[in-house]
Amino acid sequence: MSIHMIKLVVGIDNLDDFALWQAQERVMFEGQEANVVRTRFKPKQADDIIRTGGSIYRVIKSRIVCRQEIIGFGSYESMDRGTQCLILTDTDIIQTQSMPYRPFQGWRYLDQAKAPKDRGLYVIGQDNDEAPPPEMEEALKEAGLF
């Protein structure tokens, strides 16, 4: 069973903006391109997250909308914030079924049973939105139709 994390994306309005931002923030990690998520504390289960193929789910505007596989962890010394944990992720963004999620600070572990289902690889500039709008999707789920 995979161990997952969840973290808010602040200052981004939609998945297109998130994907464009991620494309500009790439680094090299162990010979492959990776995206970086900065946070204050490293998870105690970091090794298990890597071993089990865990992902970080992202919340944009109070909804889980995507995930990225976590490929490693590192640290960074910031002049103004001290030591930070770097969560290194695969550059592929997997769009998930949209799911409401309340705001929180930092990151949390996400129970695999509560993780939304994947909708497929997200590609900037393509029509990735085959699902209905989030509000309609939620109503369809409640009615057992989605």
- Tell me what pLDDT residue 146 has: 57
- Tell me what pLDDT residue 123 has: 85
Q: What is the pLDDT of residues 91-108, one digit of tens each?
A: 999 999 999 999 888 899
Q: Give whole-number Cα distances, 5 to 59, 93, 100, 115, in Å.
A: 11, 15, 16, 10
Dihedral (Cα; 21, 22, 25, 29), 10-degree rounding: 180
Residue stretches of the chain with pLDDT short of 70: 125-146
What is the distance of C-alpha 142 from the center of its chain? 24
- Tell me what pLDDT residue 79 has: 82
Whole-prediction pTM: 0.84
- Tell me what pLDDT residue 83 has: 86
